[in-house]
Amino acid sequence: MPQILAMTVRRLVMSFFILSITALIVFLGTEVLPGDALTATIPTEELQFYSADQLAEMRSELGLDRPIPVRFLEVWARLMTFDFGTTIVKHEPVGPRIFHPMINSAILAGVALVVMLALVISLGTLASLKPGGRLDTTISATTLFTYSMPDFVVSNLFVIVFAVWLGLAPAVILAPTNAPKLTILAASILPVLALCVHGVAYQYRLLRAGMVEALNSDYVERARLAGLPTWRISLVHALPSALIPMLNGTASFVAGLLSGSVVVEAVFKYPGAGGELLRALSQREIPTIQAIAFLAALAVVVANLLADLAILALDPRVRTRSQNG
Amino acid sequence: MKTPHVDVRNLKLVYKTGPQTELAAIDEVSFSIGKGETLGIVGESGCGKSSLARAFLGYTRPGARIAGGALVVGGVDVFALTGEALRRYRGGRAAMVPQNPLSALTPHRTIGQHMVELIRIHNAAGNISPTQKALDLLAAMELPDPSAIFARYPHQLSGGQRQRVVIAAALVAEPELIVLDEPTTALDKTVETQVLDLVSRLQKRTNTTLIYVSHDLNVVARMCDGVLVMQHGKVLEDGPTKEVFNAPKTEYARTLIAAIPKLRTGTRPEPVRLATAAPILSIRDLDFSYGGKRSRFIPRFFAAPPARQTLKDISLSIAAGSTLGVVGESGSGKSTLASLVAGLVGGNGGRIMFDGKPLSGLAGGRGRDLRRRVQLIFQDPASSLNPQHTVEQIIARPLQVFFGMTRAASRDRVVQLLDELDLDATLLTRSPRQLSGGQQQRVAIARAFACEPDLVLCDEVTSALDVTVQAQVLQQMKRLQREHNTAYLFISHDLPVVAEMSDQMLVLEAGEIRDYADTGTILTNPNSAYTKNLLAAFASATAHSTKRTFQNVS
């Protein structure tokens, strides 16, 4: 399929530009606004103990006295090669520091995504078997309710119900960031569910709308008139079409997961990148913030690319359209 | 008389129209068909013929139900079937050839997957593999290179190929009854003939009972032993084709038969309007090819495959308030011409002038007033009207957007527009899916005229309509044209219809102009061999149908 390859390459080139712009925004946000990385890093009360000469010396040591474009190119080159440098004051390498939190967060988001998709697709298909039936109505009403619940409410509710009342899980996760990943996986059950509540609701509504449209289509009527079983019509004929509008929503769900997980991780004390980001923000570790923001943008770009490829796989008409230009 | 193969007794089918109200779409209908016979069911859109077609398979659309009567096919009481038995009956003993083969085939499944699925479900392979059976069926439909067709997706086939595929799919389990719902609506004249001949030959071999549901009376006259004329859910006439066609008993059937578009080659009663008036639209040396555009920023590797020339050196002009008809078969570039004028695609070369000013680029860059003055009516109103909106919302939108009308003011105007098209104000709150095809298209016309346009591009606007509805809609369009002094670019494959509507005609073949002159001149004295052939095909199609009818007499 050369046209799919061409499209993928084209999208990768686009992604490169998007990530470059992300790097620029992150750079501008942390370095060009009033004060520089150095004054931002040193707390105000300590700043008064440094003389102007000392600060200037430190600036030149860190290369902060160089022109903005040069420094941006340096940051850009570092981010693009996944070399996240060292923190400004303590000179700790950023990469190894954020490695485990990032992996933990990836596990959380990945499991949440898989659980969410599995739930949405099975619920959506089941409900579509009898549109307007009891199951359909129940799921629709429930998702409308859970859709309107913010992540922090859901998380706290889960802590109260599952940890405090039922005692099924510890209220906070005590595993260290570099704990074995299976331990992390086991600890991620409640946070995953908390993240899914909102996502399932939104994705389910998209999928249901897609299923209703597909089930009203001429090809589903033809399939019914040709004597195909109902389950087969739902799964084989309607579902792939219905997934297409949902998948773009799934890509934005990934973006939502990243911001949602900051909240959820904080509530459950999950050892992920969210906590690390909050810590870096409070200590003004600019390279760490840059690294996490950049990796988050990368995750969103990859999720969108995957969603587009999935749409290509599901809809042959899009495949040939990209072939025609 | 022997026992009929299909026997319908007092069939009544109702649609739910409100919480307590129901409307009978089929009202106490009774008739029968002998084994191996062919019955044609004709009538206007909304007369219940498509509901009847589905009822043969024991199927009603959501919101409809069988309220009484019986339908027996080969001794089986169809309405008594439920669950698994009903599922096996559908596609097994009775099969449906759907109306629009493009939307009726699942877009993400290949032709092979469609066929093999049906063969497996109905255990129809016998002692060969399902794949082989599918290939055999495709070959029997005289499709070139069945294994290539097998691997393709529906959108990659031509209209004629898709039509053959859905017929092949209906034949999978060798059903004793096949219902064909508007089987040739989407086809060119020449392809239509091939498909119909093929179906006749297959029927002779298998002695299948056929039911043609069609608005095309020519097709019915040619293919059917008997004909059923329906109106408002009731059967008006039921008899041998030749009797009904030669001596219709009811006034309605007479109107229906009279409404068949015929080529009138004699002197035209209407003079050419405003031939000397300044042209509202003039096109010079227009060229267009799909896929030919290459971005300057994207390297060669990513660029599109070589261009296909769709239109070549097109020059024409339309006087204000007059009609230019464009005739051509599918692929002749006639729809592309409309898309270019409408600004749905950007041109590659040449010049389009509208009211003396250049009309270039895409519609989005033309400015509000130009977008208002050039309107487009599509072939398929079902997909060009937003299914989520009511009729009122659909027609009121241009009024609110272009004339800044309030809701109340726009409502009055909408009612007025509906009235101009003989539509009832009770339709205001309906959604497009609740309207008949003719009503939908009239709503689309009302929406176009709500903009008070100077030029309306009509792309096959009546091709999906029944003859009587078509005749009505064409009359209404003519009246609107006179009252609003609007010019039409009227595009159709149906030469008699175009000739009826147009002051001037343009014949397109493979993107090039074959003939361009006054309608009278084209009909009596065409320049090109292509136009002569086209005229001959339409003349013989009409003659052929009458001949066949007489053959049935003897």
Residue of chain A nearest B106, judged by CA positions = A219
- The residues, ordered by sequence, that sit 6+ positions from B360 with a Cβ below 8 Å of its Cβ are B347, B351, B352
Q: Which of B54, B153, B302 sits opposite A10 (nearest CB)?
A: B302
Cross-chain Cβ contact B104/A237 below 8 Å = no
Of B108, B156, B290, the CB nearest to A314: B108
Distance (Å, whole) CA B392 – CA B402: 16
Residues of B in Cβ contact (< 8 Å) with A227: 87-92, 121-122
The predicted-structure confidence for B92-137, as pLDDT tens digits, reads as follows: 999 999 888 888 999 999 999 999 999 999 988 888 999 999 999 9
Predicted confidence at residue A174, as pLDDT, reads 74
Percent of chain B with pLDDT over 90: 36
Across the interface, whether the CB atoms of A219 and B305 are under 8 A apart is answered no
**What's the pLDDT band for B502 if we cut at 50, 70, 90?**
very high
* Cβ–Cβ gap A225/B57 under 8 Å: yes
Please give the pLDDT value at position A325.
Answer: 34
pLDDT > 80? residue B297? no
| Residues 301-340 in B contacting A (C-alpha not used; CB under 8 Å) | 301-305
User: Rounded to a whole number, what is the distance in Å from the CA of A245 to chain B's nearest CA?
Assistant: 14
- Between B72-76, B329-333, B344-348, B540-544, the lowest mean confidence (pLDDT) is in B540-544
pLDDT at B257: 82
Nearest to B474 by CA among B422, B396, B518: B422
| Confidence at residue B276, expressed as pLDDT on a 0 to 100 scale | 57
Residues of chain A that touch chain B, judged by Cβ-Cβ distance less than 8 Å: 6, 9-10, 217-219, 221-229, 232, 236-237, 240-241, 314-317, 320, 323-325
Per-residue confidence (pLDDT) for residue B430, from 0 to 100: 87
Residue B61: closest CA among chain A residues belongs to which residue?
Answer: A221
Nearest CA in chain A to B89: A227
List chain A residues with CB under 8 Å of B117: 228, 232, 236
Q: Residue B336, class by beta-carbon neighbours within 10 Å (0-12 exposed, 13-18 middle, 19+ buried)?
A: buried
Model confidence at B144, pLDDT cuts 50, 70, 90, reads confident
Task: Tell me which chain A residues have a C-beta less than 8 angstroms from the C-beta of B110.
Answer: 316
Angle formed at CA B463 by CA B262 and CA B502, multiple of 5 degrees = 55
Task: Give the per-residue pLDDT at B474.
Answer: 92
Residue B330: pLDDT band with limits 50, 70, 90: confident
Q: Please give the Cα distance from B146 to B150 (Å, whole number).
A: 6
Residues of A in contact with B105 (CB under 8 A): 219, 222
Sequence-separated (6 or more) residues with CB below 8 Å from residue A213: A241, A242
Of B442 and A286, which is predicted with more confidence? B442
- The residue among B264, B185, B269 whose CA lies nearest residue B492 is B185
Q: What are phi and psi of A305, to 5 degrees?
A: -60, -45
Q: Please judge whether A317 and B153 are an interchain contact, meaning their C-beta atoms are less than 8 angstroms apart.
A: yes
* A chain contacts of residue B81, beta-carbon cutoff 8 Å: none
What was the pLDDT predicted at B73? Answer: 92
Question: A224 vs B108: CB contact, 8 Å cut-off?
Answer: no
Name the minimum distance, in Å, from the CA of B12 to any CA of chain A: 20
Chain A CB within 8 Å of residue B383 CB: no
CB-facing half-sphere around the CA of B162: CA atoms within 13 A = 25
CA B164 to chain centre: 17
Contact between B130 and B123 under an 8 Å Cβ cutoff? The reply is no
CB contact under 8 A, A218 and B109: no
Which residue(s) pair with B506 in the sheet? B326, B516
Is the CB of B107 less than 8 angstroms away from the CB of A222?
no
What pLDDT score was predicted for residue A35? 63
Query: With bands split at pLDDT 50, 70 and 90, how would you rate the model's confidence at A148?
Result: confident
Tell me how many residue pairs between chain A and chain B have CB atoms under 8 A apart: 97
Is B108's CB within 8 Å of A226's CB? Answer: no
Contact A217 B103 (CB under 8 A): yes
CA separation, residue A174 to residues A151, A177, A263 (Å)? 21, 9, 17
Asked if the C-beta of B298 comes within 8 angstroms of chain A's C-beta atoms, the answer is yes
Contacts of B109 in chain A (CB under 8 A): 236-237
**Which candidate from B90, B155, B291 shows the least CB-CB separation from A226?**
B90
- Whole-number percent of chain B with pLDDT over 70: 90
Q: How far is B544 from chain A (nearest CA, A)?
A: 33
By DSSP bridging, strand B279-290 and strand B349-354 are antiparallel
Task: List the single residue in A with minimal CA-CA distance to B169.
Answer: A226
pLDDT, averaged across chain B: 84
Question: In a 3-state reduction of DSSP, which class is residue A33?
Answer: coil
Q: What is the pLDDT of residues A244-289, one digit of tens each?
A: 888 888 888 888 888 788 888 888 888 888 888 888 888 778 888 8
* Confidence check: pLDDT of A175 > 80: no
Question: Which are the contacts of B46, defined by CB distance < 8 A and separation ≥ 6?
Answer: B436, B437, B438, B439
- Cβ atoms B163, B101 nearer than 8 A: yes
pLDDT of residue A226: 92
Report d(CA B180, CA B195) in Å as an integer: 12
Residue B242 has phi, psi (to 5 degrees) of -65, -35
What local confidence, expressed as pLDDT, does residue B413 receive? 92
pLDDT band at A167 (very low <50, low <70, confident <90, very high): confident
Identify all chain B residues contacting A217, using CB atoms and an 8 Å cutoff: 103
* B97 touching A (Cβ < 8 Å): no
Residues 266-295 of chain B whose Cβ lies under 8 A from any Cβ of chain A? 290-291, 293
Residues A227, B90: C-beta atoms closer than 8 Å: yes
Average pLDDT over residues A26-53: 73
pLDDT band at B549 (very low <50, low <70, confident <90, very high): very low
pLDDT at B264 over 70: no
ipTM surpassing 0.85, yes or no?
no
Q: Which helix (H) or strand (E) holds A20?
A: helix A2-27
Task: State the burial class of residue B290 (Cβ atoms within 10 Å of its Cβ: 0-12, 13-18, 19+).
Answer: middle
In chain A, the residue whose alpha carbon lies closest to the alpha carbon of B166 is A222
Select from B94, B98, B90, B59 the least CA-distant residue to B181. Answer: B98
Mutate to test the interface with B, among A13, A219, A241, A318 (most CBs of B within 10 A): A219
Complete DSSP assignment for B406-464: -HHHHHHHHHHHHHHTT--GGGGG--GGGS-HHHHHHHHHHHHHHT--SEEEEESTTTT
- pLDDT higher than threshold 90 for residue B179: yes
**At B218, is the pLDDT very low, low, confident or very high (cuts 50, 70, 90)?**
confident
Residue B122 confidence (pLDDT):
92
Q: For residue B547, what pLDDT is reported? A: 37
Cβ within 8 Å of A, B 117-146: 117-118, 121-122
Q: Which candidate from B96, B108, B304 shows the least CB-CB separation from A225?
A: B96
Mean residue pLDDT of chain A comes to: 83
Query: Are B225 and B37 spatial neighbours (Cβ–Cβ below 8 Å)?
Result: yes
Position B288 scores a pLDDT of 85
For A225, nearest residue in chain B (alpha carbons):
B90
Task: List Cβ neighbours of A191 (8 Å cut-off, separation of 6 or more).
Answer: A108, A112, A155, A173, A261, A264, A265, A268, A270
A10 contact residues in B (CB cutoff 8 A): 298, 302
Distance from CA of A237 to the nearest CA of B (A): 6
Look at residue A228 in the predicted model and tell me its pLDDT.
Answer: 92
pLDDT tens for residues B461-490? 887 787 778 888 999 999 999 999 999 999
Contact yes or no for B106 and A237 at CB 8 A: yes
B554: pLDDT strictly greater than 60: no
> What are the chain B neighbours of A224 within 8 Å (beta carbons)?
59, 90
Please state whether beta strands B512-518 and B504-509 pair in parallel, antiparallel, or not at all (unpaired): antiparallel
Query: Over the stretch B370-401, which tens digit does the pLDDT of each residue have?
Result: 889 999 998 888 888 998 899 999 999 999 98
Among B482, B300, B288, B461, CA closest to B380 = B461
Has residue B250 got a pLDDT over 50?
yes
Instruction: Reply yes or no on whether the pLDDT at B325 is more than 90.
Output: yes
> Within an 8 Å CB–CB cutoff, is residue B85 touching chain A?
no
Q: Check residues B396 and A56 and name the one with the higher pLDDT.
A: B396
- Condensed to tens digits (0 to 9), the pLDDT of residues A61-102 reads 777 778 888 888 888 888 888 888 887 767 788 888 888 888
pLDDT of residue A37: 66
A85: alpha, beta or left? (left if phi > 0; alpha if psi -120 to 50):
left
Q: Which of B108, B166, B174 to mutate to test the interface with A (most CBs of A within 10 A)?
A: B108
> How far apart are the CA of B109 and the nearest CA of chain A, in angstroms?
8
Name the residue facing A320 among B59, B106, B156 (closest C-beta).
Answer: B156
Q: Is B347 helix (H, G, I), strand (E, B) or coil?
A: coil
Of A9, A219, A323, the CB nearest to B106: A219
Distance from CA of B181 to the nearest CA of A (A): 11
Per-residue tokens: B285: 């040396």
Q: Do B305 and A236 touch (CB under 8 A)?
A: no
Q: Which residues of B touch A241 (CB under 8 A)?
A: 106-108
pLDDT above 90 (res B45): no
Write out chain A residues lying below 8 Å of B304, CB-based: 323-325
Q: Tell me how crowded residue A34 is: count the other CB atoms within 10 A of its CB.
A: 6
